[in-house]
Structure 1
Amino acid sequence: MKKLIFFLTFFCLLQTINSQVIYEPFQSSKLGETRDLKILLPRGYSPDDKTEYPLVIVLDGDYLFEPVIGNIDYQSYWDDMPECVVVGVKQSDTRELDFSYSDETFFPSHEGASFFEFIGMELIPYIEDTYNVSKFRVVVGHDLSANFLNYYLFKEYPVFRAYISLSPDLAPQMDTRLQEKLPLLQEDTFYYLATADDDVQALHSKIVAANNLLKDIDNPKLHYRFDNFADANHYSLVGLGIPKAINEIFTLYKPINRLEYKEKVLTYEEGPYAYLEKKYEDIKSFYGFEKKPIENDFRAVAAAAKKLNDMESLESLSKLARKEYPESMISAYYTGMYFEEKGNIKKALQYYNSGLLLTPSEFIDKDMLLDKTYELQE
């Protein structure tokens, strides 16, 4: 029964995802041929909407695209990460040439150099001109493509801000070159590396050795994570590594949890609301786009402000609620809360009652507002 439920859930997820995927041929002058793309757009994507989304480029898109978009669609649904524009490049017939490098320099050459330029000089500019994407770019690869994505780090201005390298077939000198390059990064960069106990032995040994060189790099701009999965092989580690990598990359984006509430919101010297402002400013700085304050974070800041008797934070939070959610019960609830804590019961009742005509939110409905009204009237 559990297997049946899992299968049905997974099937429904794929159906949802497939309904959003665009299959598109792309004529490349760098490659001198047409390449097939798979493009996933966010749910409800509209070209007229000015929202900008992170761009995820998936190499080996023939088989790696689906596990990537499945995880992104799932985690973004729960607001643990932003929705993304995901582009997979199909390479089943050309991957050996696409990822080739010189036997002398160990950098891309011939067809490999052409593919390198295709991604950076043709594909990314085309996606940026066609869809609403931010400058925060992620690249994902496995095996040969996981090695190839490293080459974009060696440009004067690296093309990507996050690299997901799953069981890379590392080129000679790649580990020492990364050891030399990563300490020099001047922009926040996320680098995820994974292998497994049952990975291809030759690859596993080189990846573990590479991690030994990279794990102690002292650069506050580098956010490095390594996993060596037990009971996984060269292929199954992909299903384990992708969610771990995404979780690491978008840690700052996540809603405030209990640990963050206890260790950061409650203890922030300038107060809970100031912490909320800083959190969302950091999100904009890190990821290059603005995140609308979510209801979960309103709840956390309100709870901290009440616990600390911080009326200034509650007042600022009520103003933010009215600005961001004017048609939602959120605006009425947090404004009513502010006046209730201030002791102005008449004003509190006025706002709680006005919220009855607004749209319910995830956590606030008509019954909740009526309960507050009856409580204050008594």
Structure 2
Amino acid sequence: MMKKIIYTILITFCTSIIFGQNIAKVENVKIQSQALNQEREILIYTPVGYDWRVNEYFNVIYVFDCQSREFFDYTSSMISFLTDNAKSFIIVGITSPYNEKLDYARNNDLLPVLETKKSINRYGKYSGNADNFFDFVGTEVIPYVDSTYRTLNKRVSIGHSLSASFVLYSFTKNPDLFDNYIAISPNLAYDNDKLANQIVNFDYSKINRPIFLYLSNANEGIDYWQEWKPARDKVYSFFNYTLENKNIKVKIGEFPENNHWNTFPPSLSKSLEFYFKEIYNIQEKQLSKKEYDVTIKVKVLNKKESIYITGNQDNLGNWNPKEIKMNKISDLEREVKIKLKSPAQFKFTRGNWDTEAEVIGTYGNITIKPEKQSKFEFEIENYFDK
């Protein structure tokens, strides 16, 4: 297995050299937001070879507070190292910059309407627009990304400080917006523990699919921001001792040796390590209930070749490399007509994993969304044993 992983990494590296334009890219995209009534800029990272990997789709990580570019850059940089270069994501950085003309600040995005005098005095006019910001993310940013890029259905959200608070706030508003919520040092205490109480009182019985929640803290509540600790303890106690729903996996990270700012790197690393080890594969097995009629055709190298297809569901043989033989429709074409759930991921072989095919337009699994189209064509350019 390790030999195969190393080989795949080398293939990826060599292909990137051959196709010189296929480097990781970051695009700056401006959206004229109706929800916020202002223009916003987002950052979009696409992985190495995205333009060439036309037969692959990618899950998306949404990182908040990316007017501080380091949150975006750190996240997009570390995925490869945490996965031994085996997984690729699209990373979207959502910014909340200060708009001098509108006198509109980050906290306007991230805080809901406040009720207590203490919170109103503290945050003043820089609060109260979290619901519109939520609409901006859910009805403008995510639809733009899904319509413009080849995205899969699983989304990760990442926030720090008040943007971590917003990540948890978005969970309580609509837990289906994201599948994974990573909240690094959130403020749970604002407005007399409003967010802490919303989390504790949320109706968790409505969660019927795998969701991952990660919360962490640094040394907040010890030498500063003393009100954070009792609010945090309330939430941690609820998750540790009261919550009963097997669909929700909660992981808590504590980093008392770090301060509020520098806790981001170690906390993010721990959260994503846990996600890749315990959550990722479970969520990847989630497929549509509906099956779609699909025709898959592949161009081969030799007219005598027998080609098999195998993939991530029963009708694809559940990764058995010799389960489903494709039909020969011409000397250099093989075809199979099949019912598939979405998203379907698969590979071609000559009957065993040593003969796995290298297919133009993908470094790894071929991914299709059969709800979008019914006919797919691919071309084999080589095999692992050639």
Do the aligned partners of 2:158 and 2:183 also contact (CA within 8 Å) in 1? yes
> Tell me, what secondary structure is at the counterpart of 1:102?
coil
Q: Is 1:61–1:91's contact at 8 Å kept on the other side of the alignment?
A: yes
Distance 2:321 2:73 in 1: 42
Alignment of 1:266-285 (within 5 A): 283-285=284-286
Structure 1 equivalent of residue 237 of structure 2? 212
Q: Give 1:36 shift.
A: 1.4
Deviation digits for residues 224-262 of structure 1 (CA, Å, limit 9, x no counterpart): 0001114211112110111211122232577xxxxxxxx
Match of 1:331 in 2: 354
**Distance in structure 1 (CA, Å) of the matches to 2:129 and 2:225:** 28
SS at match of 1:319: coil
Q: Are residue 42 (structure 1) and residue 43 (structure 2) matched?
A: no
Q: CA deviation at 1:41?
A: 0.8
| Aligned positions of 1:77-156 closer than 5 A | 77-79=84-86, 82-93=87-98, 94-104=105-115, 110-155=128-173
- Matched residues in 2 for 1:329 and 1:49: separation? 25
Aligned partners of 1:205 and 1:153: how far apart in 2?
Answer: 21
Distance 1:318 1:22 in 2: 39
Paired with 2:154 and 2:277, the residues of 1 have a C-alpha distance of 15
Q: 1:208 to 1:156 in 2, by over 3 A?
A: closer
Asked if the contact 1:198–1:232 (Cα under 8 Å) also holds between the matched residues in 2, the reply is: no
Task: Please tell me the residue identity of whatever aligns with 1:188.
Answer: P
Kept in 2, the 8 Å contact 1:50–1:132? The answer is no
Q: Please give the alpha-carbon distance, in whole angstroms, between the structure 1 residues aligned to 2:23 and 2:262.
A: 22
- CA RMSD of the aligned region, Å? 3.6
1:73 equivalenced with 2:94 (yes/no)? no
Alpha-carbon distance, 1:49 to partner:
2.2
Q: Which residue of the other structure, out of 194, 205, 210, is the alignment partner of 1:188?
A: 210
Identify which of structures 1 and 2 has the higher relative contact order when contacts are C-alpha pairs closer than 8 Å and 6+ apart: 2
Deviation at 1:77, TM superposition (A): 4.3
1:177 aligns with 2:188: no
Change (3 A) 1:324 1:286: closer
Q: Unaligned 5+ residue runs, structure 1?
A: 1-16, 255-278, 289-315, 334-357, 367-378
3-state SS of 1:136 partner: strand
Q: Which residue of 1 aligns with 2:261?
A: 235
**Larger CA deviation: 179-188 vs 33-42:** 179-188
Q: Deviations over 1:275-300 (max 9, x none)?
A: xxxx78x6321899xxxxxxxxxxxx
Partner amino acid, structure 1, of 2:212: F
Structure 1 partner of 2:334: none
Confirm or deny: 8 A CA contact 2:156 2:178 kept in the other structure. Answer: yes
Alpha-carbon separation, structure 2, partners of 1:196 and 1:286? 37
Matched residue SS, 2:43: strand
1:319 paired to 2:322: yes
Please state how far the C-alpha of 1:318 moved relative to its aligned partner: 5.1
CA–CA distance in 2 between the matches of 1:48 and 1:197?
43
Q: Which has more strand, going by share of residues?
A: 2
1:62 deviates by 2.4
Secondary structure, counterpart of 1:324 in structure 2: strand
* TM-score normalised by length of structure 1: 0.62
Partner of 2:14: none
State the 1:317 CA deviation: 4.7
Larger displacement relative to structure 2 (158-167 or 178-187): 178-187
Taking the aligned partners of 1:286 and 1:175, their CA distance within structure 2 comes to: 33
Q: 1:22 & 1:329 partners in 2: Cα distance?
A: 40
Check conservation: 1:98, 1:111, Cα contact below 8 A: yes
Q: In structure 2, list runs of 5 or more residues that go unmatched.
A: 1-21, 99-104, 120-125, 290-318, 326-345, 357-381
Cα offsets for 1:181-222 (capped at 9, x unmatched): 263222211000001236754334432332112222121001
Q: Is the 8 A contact 1:195 1:204 kept in 2?
A: no
Contact 1:59–1:89 (CA under 8 A) maintained in structure 2: yes
Which whole-Å CA distance do the structure 2 matches of 1:66 and 1:34 have between them? Answer: 22
Give a deviation string over 1:308-365, Cα, whole Å, max 9, x none: xxxxxxxx855269983538994349xxxxxxxxxxxxxxxxxxxxxxxx755xxxx7
Residue in structure 1 matched with residue 31 of structure 2 by the alignment: 26
Deviations 1:66-111 (A, max 9, x none): 12112223224432xx3111110122313121112112399x9853
Distance 1:118-1:214 versus aligned 2 partners, 3 A rule: same
Return the letter of the residue paired with 1:196.
Answer: A
- Whether the 8 Å contact between 2:160 and 2:185 is mirrored in structure 1 is yes
What residue identity is the alignment partner of 2:112? Y
Amino acid at match of 1:183: Y
- How many residues are treated as equivalent by the alignment? 269
Query: Aligned with 1:87: secondary structure?
Result: strand
| SS in structure 2 of the partner of residue 86 of structure 1 | strand
Q: How many Å separate the matches in 1 of 2:278 and 2:146? A: 24
Q: With the length of structure 2 as denominator, give the TM-score of the two structures.
A: 0.60
Partner residue of 1:336? Answer: none
Q: CA separation in 1, counterparts of 2:210 and 2:28? A: 32
Aligned 8 A contact 1:328 1:359 in 2: no
Partners of 2:60 and 2:156 within 8 A in 1:
yes
User: What amino acid sits opposite 1:232 in the alignment?
Assistant: N
1:24 CA displacement: 1.9
Whole-angstrom CA distance in 2 between matches of 1:149 and 1:191? 10
1:318 and 1:331 in contact (8 A); partners too = no
